[in-house]
């Protein structure tokens, strides 16, 4: 039954696991020559915010929407950043490495859902970061699950 299927958030280990993930990840980002310039001036609570965002996307509490502005705020943070494909790919690689280093589940089902979301999300962030981007700011928070994306094409 569907009610017995854990969310990606629960399977990952909840907010504690996602906080570990983003702490390790952003520590590595600040040491990376490709990404450090993008994140050089991030606030010290940025990793916690990203963990809350991922948590909500993966079926956890609505902390990001309630405390940090939801999906519209995340979109706005990327406007006019001029992210490159190299930066997008490096972001993904470092996040996957951090997932391994922090012990996020490595079963194929979880990792395929995890990577599918970060692939989708980083492509959206890159698109929204370019000159002339005019994203819709009333989109709901994406909801990602086991092989079923909650992106814009879900009925």
Topology of domain 7-128, CATH: Globin-like (1.10.490)
Residue 7 CB-density burial (10 A; 0-12 exposed, 13-18 middle, 19+ buried): middle
Q: pLDDT tens, 44-71?
A: 999 999 999 999 999 999 999 999 888 8
Cα–Cα distance, 55 to 13 (Å, whole number): 10
Cα–Cα distance, 55 to 89 (Å, whole number): 22
pLDDT score at 148: 56
Q: Mean of the pLDDT values across residues 132-145?
A: 87
Cα–Cα distance, 82 to 79 (Å, whole number): 8
Quickly state the pLDDT bin for 101 (edges 50, 70, 90): very high
Task: Enter the tokens of residue 122.
Answer: 């980083």
Could you tell me the residue ranges of all domains in the chain? Answer: 7-128
Q: pLDDT tens, 116-130?
A: 999 999 999 999 999
pLDDT score at 87: 97
Quickly state the pLDDT bin for 155 (edges 50, 70, 90): very low
Q: Mean of the pLDDT values across residues 33-52?
A: 95
Cα–Cα distance, 52 to 18 (Å, whole number): 8
Q: Mean of the pLDDT values across residues 14-18?
A: 98
């Amino acid at each position: 039954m569907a009610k017995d299927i854990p969310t990606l958030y629960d399977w990952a280990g909840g907010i504690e696991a996602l906080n570990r993930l983003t702490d390790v990840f952003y520590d590595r980002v600040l040491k990376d020559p490709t990404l450090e310039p993008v994140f050089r001036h991030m606030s010290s609570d940025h990793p916690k915010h990203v963990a809350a965002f991922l948590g909500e996307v993966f079926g956890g509490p609505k902390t990001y929407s309630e405390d940090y502005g939801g999906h519209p705020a995340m979109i706005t943070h990327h406007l006019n950043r001029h992210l490159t494909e190299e930066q997008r790919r490096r972001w993904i690689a470092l996040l996957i490495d951090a997932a391994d280093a922090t012990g996020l589940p490595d079963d194929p089902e979880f990792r395929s859902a995890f990577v599918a979301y970060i692939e989708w999300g980083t492509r959206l962030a890159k698109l929204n970061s370019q000159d002339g981007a005019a994203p819709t700011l009333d989109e709901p928070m994406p909801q990602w699950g086991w092989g079923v994306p909650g992106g814009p094409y879900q009925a």
